[in-house]
Amino acid sequence: MLQLNELEEMRLFSYENTKLYKEKTKRWHDKHIQPRVFEESQQVLLCNSLLKLFPSKLKSRWSGPFLVVKVYPYGAVELREEDSKREFKVNGQRLKHYWGGEVERNKCSISLEDL
């Protein structure tokens, strides 16, 4: 009976230790989160979460840049594509700021017959 009580104490002790560890790591993680504030007429990149399911080296996870049309409360953001002028809403957690310059979207092809 004494051994059973000792095992029960060890189980409770380890349960409490894991609970403390999870709280500590959550505090550390939350402290290092940097809030992203988006404003209208700002350029952003959109994360394509489908690429996580089908990993590919040659495809980028980030698409864009898109133009911020409107920022809604609770993190929703309305974006506009520059080419097609299509507007859509996304979660603000899927966005990051675009700090680069203009993106050249012209495509060129080279046929092998010319070489």
- How does pLDDT run across 27-80, given as a tens digit for each residue? 999 888 777 888 888 899 988 776 556 666 656 677 778 999 999 988 889 999
CATH of the domain at 70: 2.30.30.10
On whether residue 22 sits in a domain, the answer given is no
Write out the residue range of the structural domain in which residue 69 sits: 43-50+61-97
On whether residue 86 sits in a domain, the answer given is yes
Q: Which pLDDT belongs to residue 27? A: 92
Residue type, 28: W
Phi, psi for 98 (deg, rounded to 5): -105, 115
37 CB contacts (<8 Å, ≥6 apart)? Answer: none
pTM for this entry: 0.55
On whether residue 26 sits in a domain, the answer given is no
The number of domains in the chain is 1
On whether residue 16 sits in a domain, the answer given is no
Q: Which pLDDT belongs to residue 62? A: 79
On whether residue 88 sits in a domain, the answer given is yes
The DSSP call for residue 93 is: G
On whether residue 21 sits in a domain, the answer given is no
Cα 2 vs. chain centroid, distance in angstroms? 52
Q: Is the pLDDT of residue 84 over 60?
A: yes
